[in-house]
Amino acid sequence: MAKSDDCLHILQGLLVFGNVVIGMCGIALTAECIYFVSDPHDLYPLLKDTENSDIYAAAWIGIFVGLALFALSILGIIGVIKASRTLLMVYIILMLITFAFEMASCITAATGRDSLTPEFFLKKMLNRYQKSEPANNSDDELTKSWDELMLQNHCCGVNGPSDWQAYTSAFRSTHSDADYPWPRMCCVLNTEKVPVNLDGCKLGVTGYYNSNGCYDAISGPVNTHAWGVAWFGFAILCWTFCVLLGTMFYWSGIEY
């Protein structure tokens, strides 16, 4: 019951608690990243084949990092309770490696998010939506994604239907401006996916076409995704850093 005993027990208790939290956060991180990778809003085709699918790479890394954190936290708890230098050394080394991976994932998610501006989506949409000879499957998927997006969210283009008028596009080269000032999906459709008033839609009469842009509908989920991976990851890293410091301190005090 010496004072050092108390110090020791307190430190052990703190480290065990820290590792329990790390384990739970690891599971939570894995679950969150699996959710993002499953792409519930079907936005991945809009980002695929670009240098900006980083946030998906970050989510994939997050899945494995979460599992590693869980496993390492168990190792850490065992090592702390048994006061085993070997186990704790292994724990520290592996945790540092995991730390580095998680750091990479967070930075990737944060910087990837920064480059997802409206201009980025606009360029992709203008170049590839309804491309006449799709170079590969991803153009088809992009078209389908955009159609689904415009249908579900009652929106048109990135900033609005004027995107199709203000810029030349792959769509414009196959669809005449007189018949299709903007894609049919921008019109208000009935249950059979037929425009309610085609002439009204072509003229831009309020009520027969979707006048707002889809950027909000895209950026909402993408922001949630990126910030979810980045900020939660940084929070875990901060906590893990403290636990690692404590563990190193504890390790250096263990006898041979």
Kindly list the residues in this chain that would bind other proteins in the complex (CB under 8 A): 2-5, 7-8, 51, 83, 99-100, 103, 106-107, 110-111, 114-115, 117, 119-120, 122-123, 126-127, 160-162, 165-169, 172, 176-179, 181, 199, 202-206, 209, 211, 230-231, 234, 237, 241, 245, 248-249, 252-256
Q: At CA 124, angle to CA 120 and CA 126, rounded to 5?
A: 115
Smallest gap from Cβ 94 to other proteins, in A, equals 15
Q: Are 143 and 103 in contact (CB under 8 A)?
A: no
Closest approach, Cβ 4 to other proteins, in A, equals 4
Q: Compute the least distance from the CB of residue 157 to other proteins, in Å.
A: 11
Comparison of 116 and 149: residue with beta carbon closer to other proteins: 116
Neighbours of 105 (CB within 10 A): 27
Residue 195: beta bridge partners?
189
Closer to other proteins by Cβ: residue 12 or 138: 12
Instruction: List the structure tokens of 236.
Output: 């875990």
Nearest distance from C-beta of residue 20 to other proteins, angstroms? 22
Token pair listed for 169 = 């596009």
What 3-state DSSP class applies to 187?
A: strand
Helix (H, G, I), strand (E, B) or coil at 179: coil
Q: Which two tokens stand for residue 128?
A: 């590839």
User: How far is residue 178's CA from residue 181's CA, in Å, rounded to a whole number?
Assistant: 6
Q: Which is nearer to other proteins, 17 or 241 (CB)?
A: 241
Which residue lies nearer to other proteins by CB, 32 or 163? 163
State the nearest-atom distance from the C-beta of 3 to other proteins, in Å: 6
